[in-house]
Structure 1
Amino acid sequence: MSSRGVDLLAYADRLGGDLAGLRALLDGPLAEFAGVHILPFFTPFDGADAGFDPVDHAAVDLRLGGWDDVRAIAERRGVTADLIVNHVSSASAEFADWLRHGADSAADGMFLTYDRVFPDGGTEEEITAFYRPRPGLPFTAYRAADGRRRLVWTTFLPSQIDLDVAHPAARAYLRRVLDALREGGVTTVRLDAVGYAVKTPGTDSFMTPATLEFVREIAAMVRAAGMRVLVEVHAHYTQQQAIAPLVDLVYDFALPALLLHSLGTGTVDRIADWLAIRPDNAVTVLDTHDGIGVVDAGPGAGRPGLLSTDEMAAVFARAAEATDGHSSVASVVPEWAAMPHQINATFLSALGGDGTAYLLCRAVQLWVPGEPQLYYVGLLGGLDDAALFERTGNGRDVNRHVYPADEIEAALQTPVTRALLELVRIRTRHAAFDGAFGYRVRGDGRLELTRTSGGAMARLTVATREPAFEIELRDASGSRVISGIDDLAAEGMTAG
């Protein structure tokens, strides 16, 4: 992906229907995107955790297509795919073989058992210290063929069996998956749930020094396979700072909460504070398939955050008000935590459907350094899919709408999506984005973000109290000023 490029984040089945359909969109109305992160398309893509519980992590689900379809997408743009580091499905061939044959299985040692972490037994204090993003303890008992019950680690769901990432059998498995991804045309690997992968008694086992060492090791494996490394961790912002030098890319999950705070308070100082210290090698997002990241901006483990606890609570409260209380129902509070670490709502819904506020946030996302990534529901201006949530009971499904072809076509004609595609076009094509980034807080409480390269300049000015934004562009072809969503959408109509 170029320094100007923008990535799309999407499920193939929910945007396009399958890999061929997704490719048609990327080669057609979404051709401006320089890359795409295809959310799990492995076998099966529609398991208990929407593909993050692979039975066969090295195989494309035949209902979506095959590796040839992935390679066809990769011919014209970068492709990111997930390496699910922490676990596999309980229905995987490896886990079934281990239950059947025990110590005689080639997979013996691949899965993390209770006694591997606590060979002498764990105390109540040690067991309850583990951080888990869902209610309950992280163990599940499975019966082996010999009748013996084995207590295995299941950090997320009982059907997601944790790997013993220190064991050679698990390392060999991860290498096999990496080989399949490389051969399939994948250029960037996202390490999913890596923060939970190493269990260390006496700690909460989330992003510990032992975890960071494993990140170094798995990153070396990915790079040795010829791909870039993106790490996904929702944690205190200092964790992103610690990981950034070890890998190619980290996420900026703090920006969404800071923007929501700014729009709620009419201030921009916290965003400016973050711009001074955030990693430049960031994938910049506002929303993802997991919701709107917010915990990264708050305090944690006795350390102050970019926002205080009260300010974080106010962000949640405003989102709940904007969604008529729906975000509070859909969002999950992790065990022993006071607040959710993600808001389950579409970003537009969290802003009460305010298109100007929404495009202001998107413009900031595309102006700051890093590699911006747009989630497919956000691109199409989606609001909460309450019906899907009601049907599945999964709060994250409010932001995982399945778009049939007619809805995609209609969304592409709306002012919000046309304006957003124009922002993508500016970011992709304007020469200023090859150069330096600068920012300042003006005396009138507005924030200016400026990109310059030679004689080219792209300046974004935002006011969060109104809200309002203005874009000034200058290059060899001349200069122009775009004020607000209607002007931006009209520019997109002309370009289209």
Structure 2
Amino acid sequence: MTNELMQRVEAHLNVIYPDQNCQDLSQQLVSTMGIAIDAKAPVPFTNLWDQNDIYLITYGDSLIDESLSPGQRPLQSLHHFIRNYLQQVISAVHILPFYPYSSDDGFAVIDYYQVNESLGDWQDIQAISEDVKVMADVVINHCSARSGWFENFKQGKDPGNDFFFTASPDEDTSLVVRPRTHDLLKQVITPDGSKYVWCTFSHDQVDFDFRNPIVLNEFVSILNYYLEQGITIFRFDAVAFLWKEAGTSCLNLPQTHEIVRLLRLLVEHKNPQAVIITETNIPNRQNLMYFGNANEAHAIYNFSLPPLLINTLVTGDCTHLKTWLMSLPPAQNGTAYFNFIASHDGVGLRPVEGLLSEEETDLLINTMVSFGGRVSWRALKGGRNQPYEINISLYDALSGTVNGPDSLQKQRFICAHAIMLGIEGIPAIYIHSFFGTQNDLERVNLSNQNRCINRHKWNYPELQGHLGNAFSHHAQVFEELTALIKLRKQQKAFHPNATQFTLHLGVQLFGFWRQSLDRRQSIFCISNVTCEPQPLSLADLNLIDMGDWRDLITGQTFTNVRECITLAPYQTVWISN
């Protein structure tokens, strides 16, 4: 253990806990993480990814099958699916919270050290990690109100008695940024009388108090435990809300950023290949801050991409998507954007604040509602509510345009993924996007939860039947999407940190240029984002007239760099040298 590491840990702690004995605390954290005495600092600005990295996002029980063997567990079904369908497609799997929980489909964690027995056990997680990298959620802002820690809090016992953030109901919390509409504080009776616990997300999700260093040490212990189980990628859930301070928004506070930097420092000294990804569903500029100076998150969720891309494809106008892409700073080496266009949550609307006008946002919302979507709300100052996210499956979100449904749903859906797979960053694909899963309105009605619309649970044998039927749209989507991914993985110009420039081809054609880090390959990525054929003049791309250029997707070769071609509705071309 180097003195340099101890000094760096202590420096972070001095910012977070200026009134604490940070020398002793730094020794405790390093010991809890189990960092070897001879551990070396990782080389800074090192990319731990390349163009072969594709993530799968899934719940542990998105596939349910008891036919493979008696007592088949969902995590084993997931492993079977990865081995038999995605072995050459993905490099990592994000298994959404697989711990015992009480609500929010896993994000109200009861016990961070256990696997939900209805899903499987740690051996199942370890088995998956032998085939692909595993990303696990670190639900760091809050835990379940039914957890052992909170039960101890209510009884005035340790551990847990001082784990949770409390505030007076008379305190002015009007500046606090809220993602929900319920009351912020929850009254709890304890041996010391009534206390009011802070609940950012729901009254079943009670917020931790990181002003207590014991809470920080507990999460260091959790991270170390996950590393020992074979997990190497960590998603810090809702981390932007972590630190609370009276008279502030309680969002993105300096101590929050300092804690992320500290946890990264400890994790990467334990395992230099480990990756931290921050999940911060907030306006774009605030989100970018979590890169730090390549010393905070390795990757950040690119939250503005889903709503902007959907908006582009339903309006047939790429103006806002193009403007956003031009404003996106290149991620420096050692950091990357984490790109996704569908997930277990809804399509966030906060990330397009300042990017779409109120009228444009309303049109997007109304279009999604007409395709079967739902809207979730958040509370604003003064008791007003504002749309927070749209809840809809991506396949149904692309059912048509602002003019209504049409017959180009699948083409529009594949176009969305072709764009995501091409832009700078690491692509992550929700399991239901592989199949073109549609809105699950039955689950919404049964659960009374809008987000369940996009959390379908497939009967695995039934799904396999669909995937074996060439006439099924599920099979067609799976075949086209996996073929596109395999093609992408072969292109060095699609390295997550490869050079990117936005092209100006009007509003009907969305385009950008990628160049490999060794400058040996260029790819011009152009998509027709409309429901009508669109002309593309190759002269507008300024292709160098040396050798043939070829569309990687169709194989079409272009010998005349000044010819004009026509792109079918929602067709994408990857023109490469």
Shorter-chain TM-score: which interval?
0.7 to 0.9
Partner of 2:358: 309
CA contact (8 A) 2:527 2:570 kept: no
Distance 1:225 1:479, change over 3 A: farther
Partner of 2:513: 450
- Segments of structure 2 that go 5 or more residues without pairing to the other structure are 1-48, 66-73, 401-408, 469-474, 537-548, 559-565, 573-577
CA contact (8 A) 1:128 1:137 kept: no
Partner of 1:301: none
Partner of 1:208: 253
CA contact (8 A) 1:58 1:176 kept: no
Partner of 1:335: 379
Q: How does 1:239-258 map to 2 (within 5 A)?
A: 239-245=286-292, 246-258=296-308
The residue type equivalent to 1:25 in the other structure is F
Partner of 1:492: none
2:516 paired with 1:464:
no
Structure 1 length as normaliser, TM-score?
0.86
SS in 2 for 1:365: helix
Match of 1:385 among 440, 461, 470: 440
Partner of 2:167: 114
Give the CA deviation at 1:67. Answer: 1.6
Match of 1:90 among 127, 133, 145: 145
CA contact (8 A) 1:437 1:449 kept: yes
Partner of 1:358: 413
CA contact (8 A) 1:15 1:403 kept: yes
Partners of 1:468 and 1:225 in 2: CA distance: 54
The residue type equivalent to 1:83 in the other structure is V
Match of 1:132 among 169, 174, 178: 178
Match of 1:181 among 209, 215, 226: 226
Residue by residue over 1:78-111, the C-alpha shift from the partner in whole angstroms, topping out at 9 and shown as x without a partner, is: 2111101111112222222232244xx2333211
The residue type equivalent to 2:351 in the other structure is D
Partners of 1:153 and 1:14 in 2: CA distance: 32
Partners of 2:309 and 2:249 in 1: CA distance: 30
Partners of 1:308 and 1:463 in 2: CA distance: 23
Partner of 1:165: 210
Indicate the larger mover: 92-101 or 132-141: 92-101
Partners of 1:194 and 1:333 in 2: CA distance: 20
Partners of 2:142 and 2:552 in 1: CA distance: 49
Residue by residue over 1:123-174, the C-alpha shift from the partner in whole angstroms, topping out at 9 and shown as x without a partner, is: 4xx2233222121221111222x37222211211212121101212211221
SS in 1 for 2:376: coil
Indicate the larger mover: 22-31 or 89-98: 89-98
Give the CA deviation at 1:397. Answer: 0.1
Partners of 2:113 and 2:434 in 1: CA distance: 29
Partners of 1:285 and 1:38 in 2: CA distance: 15
Give the CA deviation at 1:366. Answer: 0.4
Indicate the larger mover: 180-189 or 386-395: 180-189
Partners of 2:268 and 2:183 in 1: CA distance: 34
CA contact (8 A) 2:154 2:161 kept: no
SS in 1 for 2:458: coil
What's the RMSD between the two structures over aligned residues?
2.7
Give the CA deviation at 1:241. Answer: 1.8
Percent identity over paired residues: 25
Distance 1:473 1:97, change over 3 A: same
Distance 1:472 1:392, change over 3 A: farther
The residue type equivalent to 2:52 in the other structure is R
Match of 1:423 among 478, 484, 494: 484
The residue type equivalent to 1:440 in the other structure is L
Partners of 1:333 and 1:147 in 2: CA distance: 35
- Segments of structure 1 that go 5 or more residues without pairing to the other structure are 116-120, 299-304, 489-496
The residue type equivalent to 2:441 in the other structure is A
Partners of 2:93 and 2:146 in 1: CA distance: 29
Say how many residue pairs are matched.
463
Structure 2 length as normaliser, TM-score?
0.74
Kindly name which structure, 1 or 2, has the bigger radius of gyration based on alpha carbons: 2
Match of 1:272 among 322, 333, 341: 322
Q: How does 1:311-326 map to 2 (within 5 A)?
A: 311-323=360-372
2:91 paired with 1:34:
yes
Match of 2:463 among 405, 408, 413: 408
Partners of 2:218 and 2:225 in 1: CA distance: 11
2:69 paired with 1:22:
no
Distance 1:403 1:67, change over 3 A: same
Residue by residue over 1:424-481, the C-alpha shift from the partner in whole angstroms, topping out at 9 and shown as x without a partner, is: 1112233442454343121574122333446545443212222679995459xx8669
Partner of 2:575: none
